[in-house]
Structure formats: C-alpha cells, structure tokens
Structure 1
Amino acid sequence: MSETTKILTIQDISCYGQCSITVALPVVSAFGIETAILPSAVLSTHTSGFTDFTVRDLTEDLPEIRKHWEKEGIYFDAIYTGFIASKEQLDYIKDIIDSRLKPGGLVFVDPAMADHGEFYNGFDQEFADAMGELCKLGDFILPNTTEACFILHKPWKEEFSHEEMLEMANELSNFTKRHVILKGDTHNEGQLGMVVLDKQESTIEMVYNDRIDYVSHGTGDVFASSFVGSVMNAKSPAVATKIAGEFTKIAIEKTIGDETHTYGVKFEQAIPYLFDLLKTY
C-alpha cells in the first residue's frame, strides 16, 4: 500500500447510530488509508430500533459530485459501496466507478439491503436485481445469506447446509469479477464461517472465527470495512476475512454487558487491536 492510497466509500450517513459511513470512515482510515466519502443519504438515526427518523435522499447530488471530481481530476485506488438509498443511485454509482476509479483499481460491493430473511425498509426484489448488476462490477462482493438469496432468487431459511453454502458461493461467482465472501456458515459449533471463493484461481475455502450469539445493527459494516482495509494492506482475501471476523468479534465483546448500548457495537474501542491483527495474520 502506497502512502497516497485513496479509497472512496459510498453509503449513507446515519448521524446517530454506528453503521455505514460512521463506521467505514474511521475503520478504513485506521488502516492508514486516505478515505473519501460520498453519502447516498443522510438520516437522523439508523433505521433499526428508532422511530420517526428523518431521511434526506441525496440521489440528485451524485452526478454533480462526479462532474466536479472529473473537472478536478480526482481518482481513487478503490471504491467501496455499502447502503445505497435507491435503485436510481445504482446507475450513478456505476458511472462513478467507470470514470473515477484508477486503472487496476479495486471495487468492493457490500450489498447492504437485507438480513434475517427480510429486506431492509424500502427495498424489494427489483432493487436486489439491480444490486446484483452492481455486484458484477465488484472485485469483491460480501453478501450475507439473505442478500445472497435475494440476488440469486432463492428461498431463504434460518440455516443452510455446508454444501448449500458452497453451492451458493459458486452461484454468486456469476455476480463478481473475482471474489465472493459469503457470510453465515454456522455448522461448526461455537464458530461462524465465511466462504471465500476466488473464481479466477478456481479456489474455495472456509474461514472461521469464534461465534458470539449477539445480534446488533452495524456489524456487517464493521466486518466489511475491516475487510477492505486488510485487502488494501496486501492481505489475501482469506486472511482479510479472518482479520475482519476477529475485529468484529472484539467490537462485540466490547459492547456486551452495556444494556444502554443498543444501536451498534463499540468498534471504536476495538480499533487499537487492528494493528495486532495485521501483525498476527
């Protein structure tokens, strides 16, 4: 990684609540990477556990921001997308990837739109189909099993067999340039597994971390952001997956026991551990 490495992350800003850009910006920056942001929307809070939150959609701003960057000659070594506010935005984001990514740059797509068998508020199958098209521009895609099922038009269930997880990852290889990181294998007792597929090398492997039975908003963003930072620090996809899983686990451990902290995980307290993780793996 050069000192001038620049990443653009495109996702929403939740002014309160630990998710999306408020996770991606500090976590990716902690890896020593200059991180620019492009907000897809601004919300007063995130949408889980809060009511009457405000939302300002920034769709109309995206093409004007791209034009200004084009005028200024601004390019990025990588682009990392997360929560996108609308189907229309996906087309603008494709234009940004086409015009603002340096030759040989990397695209990371976290198709943040669903979990636990359901779409997030405001999303539907039409959006999932459009997200699948965005995924095809990604060098890395990082879906959970729910998002994978919607992209693939498969029924979701609480648990998939190990063989089904591998099959799903193989099917997802049609929706990425190279790598699939599929989250959610629960077959090893006490462990959470991720399928790591490289279709260029025709390899598929499992990466496991200790499992903590704790559900919180924003853990997917913590995982994705630390994965991106690890890859940009020259870690292999499997090693980056391991680091991201360990970092997310530490963030959860820092949160457990605080009953007032119901809106995310305390990833900030886990950031000092990133340096040890990068040295260990």
Structure 2
Amino acid sequence: CAKADFIIPNMTETAFLLGIPYTEDYDEEYVKDALRRLAELGCRTPVITGVHYDDRLQGAAAYDSESDKYYFSFGRNVNSRFHGTGDIFSSVFSGACALGKDIQQCLDISVKFTLDCIEATIPHMAETWYGSCFELCLGKLIDYVKEQ
C-alpha cells in the first residue's frame, strides 16, 4: 500500500487492512475516517468500494490525501452479490485515471459502469459463476469516458 498511488479495497478489505472489526453499520464520518487511515498506510488516494448508508444507494468513496478532499459517487443499490464487480470497478477506475480523468470522474464512470454490469447480469443469474456480464455494457463504458 505504501508504494501505491491508489488502493481500492471494499469495506471488508478495509477492515482487514486497518485491523478493525468489520461492520455494516456505518455513516459518512466512519468512511472518511477509514479513508484517512488507509492513506496513512502510505498510498496517496485510497478508494473504498461497496459504500452504502442505506438500502437505496451503493457506490464508492475516495480521499485525495494531497488535497485533503473527499469524493463520493453512488448508484442504485442492487441487494445481491455479483462476482467480479470489484475487478470491474478497479479496472475501469484505473483506465479512467490513465486517460487523465480526475478522481470524481473516475469514481462516476466506475460506479455507473459497475451498476450497468450488475443490471446486465440479473437476467443471467443462473450463469453468474462465470462472473458479471461486463461484455454487454462495453458500449456504455465508451460513452461514459467520452462524456466525462
């Protein structure tokens, strides 16, 4: 972590990295504190995925330790588990960074595309052991990158 510009753990991995008990009962201040503590591990910008304060919205939060700014992006919460969504989010976030997008843009693109992949996977739940259906959404990803 100390050598990374970005780390992108989910809430479970965040608890593990910080040596704190995992909880699903948290608020924005808890997330901000966790982000600050992750930055203290040495990375410039930690990003936490799977952030939700209620059952309606889920997304991600980031902290730029150099500017001391927090960033949040949320989409509709789908109350189910989908394999590969963390990898999808991380890949899209990294790609958006490589294209020069700012942190908010990277979060927004990644959250929107990950939700698209989840929604595209729902009709194929019997085959989800193959992972999420990201291929069906690649056209939208191109549009999101162009829009931002």
TM-score by length of 2: 0.92
> What is the aligned residue count?
147
State the distance in 2 between where 1:156 and 1:189 align.
18
Post-superposition shift, 1:143? Answer: 0.7
The corresponding residue for 2:133 is 266
Q: Are 2:8 and 1:142 aligned?
A: yes
Residue 261 of structure 1 deviates from its aligned partner by: 1.4
Residue 183 of structure 1: how far off its partner (Å): 1.7
Q: Distance in 1 between matches of 2:38 and 2:99?
A: 25
How far residue 141 of structure 1 moved from its aligned partner, in angstroms, is: 0.7
Distance across 1 between alignment mates of 2:132 and 2:10 = 18
- C-alpha distance in structure 2 between counterparts of 1:259 and 1:178, whole Å: 37
Would you say 1:277 and 2:144 are equivalent positions?
A: yes
1:204 matched residue in structure 2: 70
Q: Secondary structure at the match of 2:123?
A: coil
SS in 2 for 1:155: coil
Map of 1:68-83 to 2, 5 A cutoff? none
Please list the CA deviations of residues 10-33 of structure 1 after superposition, one character each: whole Å capped at 9, or x if unmatched: xxxxxxxxxxxxxxxxxxxxxxxx
2: CA distance, partners of 1:259 / 1:140: 32
**Structure with more of its chain in strand, by fraction:** 1
Could you say which residue in structure 2 is the equivalent of 1:194?
A: 60
Structure 1 stretches lacking a partner, 5+ long:
1-134
| Cα distance in 2 between the residues matched to 1:176 and 1:241 | 21
Which residue identity is paired with 1:151?
Answer: L
Unaligned runs of 5+ in 2: none
1:253 to 89, 110, 119: 119
Contact 1:160 1:185 in 2 (8 A): no
Q: CA RMSD in A?
A: 1.4
Match of 1:106 in 2: none
The reply on whether 1:218 has 2:106 as its aligned counterpart is no
Measure the CA separation in 2 of the matches of 1:184 and 1:258.
Answer: 22
Structure 1 letter corresponding to 2:121: T
Partner AA of 1:280 in structure 2: E
Conserved 8 A contact 1:243-1:277: yes
- Deviating runs (4+, > 6 A) in structure 1? none
Matches within 5 A, 1:118-137: 135-137=1-3
**DSSP-derived class of the 1:272 partner:** helix
Name the structure where helix makes up a greater proportion of residues: 2
Query: What is the CA deviation profile of residues 79-114 of structure 1, one whole-angstrom value per residue up to 9, with x for unaligned ones?
Result: xxxxxxxxxxxxxxxxxxxxxxxxxxxxxxxxxxxx
SS of the residue aligned with 1:193? strand
Provide the secondary structure at the position in 2 that maps to 1:222.
helix
Whole-angstrom distance in 2 between the partners of 1:193 and 1:248: 9
Q: Is the 8 A contact 1:214 1:252 kept in 2?
A: no
